[in-house]
Every structure is written in C-alpha cells, then in structure tokens.
C-alpha cells in the first residue's frame, strides 16, 4: 500500500505541474482561450480525480505499521478533501466547454457551474478541517468561486438570448440562428423576437373615434365634464323629482 501511495503521489504531482503550466497559458490568453486548451485541462483533472480516488481506497494511511487510528482518519479526511477539490475544478472546466459558442449548451453550463461552486465550497471546508494541507488550496477554491460567478453570469445571459431569439435584421436574422450579442451590435433589435417587446415594428394600430373629433362638439363636451360633478348633478335632479 505504501509503494502504491508513493507512486500515485508522484503521478499526481506531475499532472498538477502540467495543469499549472496550462493555467499559465490560460491566463496569458485572457478572453481568447482556445477550446483545445480547456479540453486538455479538463482531461488532466479527470486523470487527477481518478488517482485521488485510488488514494482514498488504499488500506490505512501512509504512516506504515505504526500508524494510529487518528492518522488513518486524517489520511482519509485529506483524501476526501482532495477529491472534492479536483471534482470542483473538473466540473468548472467541463462547464466552460459546454458554454462555448460552438457548443451552445448554456443551460447545461449554468447547472454545472452551480454544481462546481457547491463542490468548491465543500472542498474549502474540508481542507480547512485538515491539519497538514496547504492553506493556499483554500485560496484557490475561493478564487474558483469568483471565476464561477463570472462565467455563470455570462452563460445565463447567453441562455436567455438563445431561448428568446437571436434578433431582427442583419446576418443573424437572415440565417435565423441566434448569435452572440457582441457579434450583432450593428443589427437593429426592435424586440419582436423577445418575450417583452421594446417597441412595435411597424407601429401598432391605435383606436380612433369613427367621427372626426373636430366637428363632433357633443363628444368634446361630454369628455370635458368631470365624472364626479356629473354624478352629483344626476343625484340632485333625482332628489328633486
């Protein structure tokens, strides 16, 4: 068990280093991250998650034959915290793959972002309960929650636009497909493709009197009389009768 643990530990360290290198490339690319890079990071976290689960299934801890029950509990606690951390990271990057414009599964991405945020919160609590785990892992989970919030907001907006339509004229209207709002800034949006209209295009019809109001003197006088005064006048004449 000890040799297996050391082997898995070395393998996970190598994959963690590769992930950190890919994270550096991701930060350098900023908003223009290639989908291939996201796929590589997601695959690495998948491999790390499998190794972390293998570590959690090892018999006992890595303290040898002299290990106590408390050592074993601490070992399992750290292993479970590491699993939660890797699950949160993997779920986040899979959600980003779903949120790509070429994939367009924004509603699924929103659900996965929510799950990733829940896992990150649980992982931070588990890591804080461990004595020997690095505190920087807690900070990484907090940073992940901030990134999840921004990515989720973007996916919610894209899901709304995809659900209610892609807009009026221009290239998006001609093809009939919903495109990103940043790609159709010059297209006129009257709002007729949305559940709440901004304006009517063409203008909606308005009801008008059947007779010309300029010559209908009685119509003008009836409209000018206050309703309260007219009602009082009627009641006074009824009492006199």
Chain segment 8-26, per-residue pLDDT in tens: 888 888 888 888 888 888 7
pLDDT tens digits, residue range 29-69? 776 778 888 888 888 888 888 888 888 887 754 444 455 55
Residue 62 CA to residue 65 CA, distance in Å, equals: 9
Confidence of residue 91 (pLDDT cuts 50, 70, 90): very high
Angle between helices 35-56 and 69-98 (to 10 degrees): 160
Place of tokens 């890919």: 22
| pTM assigned to the model | 0.61
Within the chain, what is the greatest distance between any pair of CA atoms? 113
Average pLDDT, the chain: 75
Report which of residues 230 and 85 the model is more confident about.
85
């Amino acid at each position: 068990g000890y040799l297996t643990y050391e082997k898995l530990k070395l393998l996970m360290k190598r994959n963690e280093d590769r992930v950190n290198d890919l994270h550096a490339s991701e930060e350098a690319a900023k908003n223009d991250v290639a989908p291939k890079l996201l796929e590589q990071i997601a695959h690495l976290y998948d491999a790390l998650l499998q190794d972390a689960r293998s570590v959690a299934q090892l018999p006992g801890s890595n303290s040898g034959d002299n290990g106590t029950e408390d050592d074993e509990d601490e070992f399992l606690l750290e292993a479970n915290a590491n699993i939660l951390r890797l699950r949160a990271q993997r779920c986040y990057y899979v959600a980003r793959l779903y949120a790509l414009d070429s994939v367009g599964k924004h509603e699924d991405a929103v659900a996965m972002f929510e799950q990733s945020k829940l896992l990150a919160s649980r992982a931070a609590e588990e890591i804080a309960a461990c004595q020997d785990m690095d505190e920087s892992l807690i900070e990484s989970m907090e940073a992940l929650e901030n990134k999840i919030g921004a990515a989720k907001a973007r996916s919610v907006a894209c899901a709304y636009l995809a659900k209610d339509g892609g807009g009026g004229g221009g290239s998006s209207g001609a093809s009939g497909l919903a495109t990103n709002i940043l790609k159709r800034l010059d297209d006129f949006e009257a709002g007729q493709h949305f559940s709440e209209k901004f304006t009517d295009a063409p203008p909606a019809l308005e009801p008008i009197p059947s007779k010309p109001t300029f010559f209908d003197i009685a119509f003008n006088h009836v409209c000018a009389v206050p309703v309260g005064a007219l009602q009082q006048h009627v009641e006074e004449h009824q009492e006199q009768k």
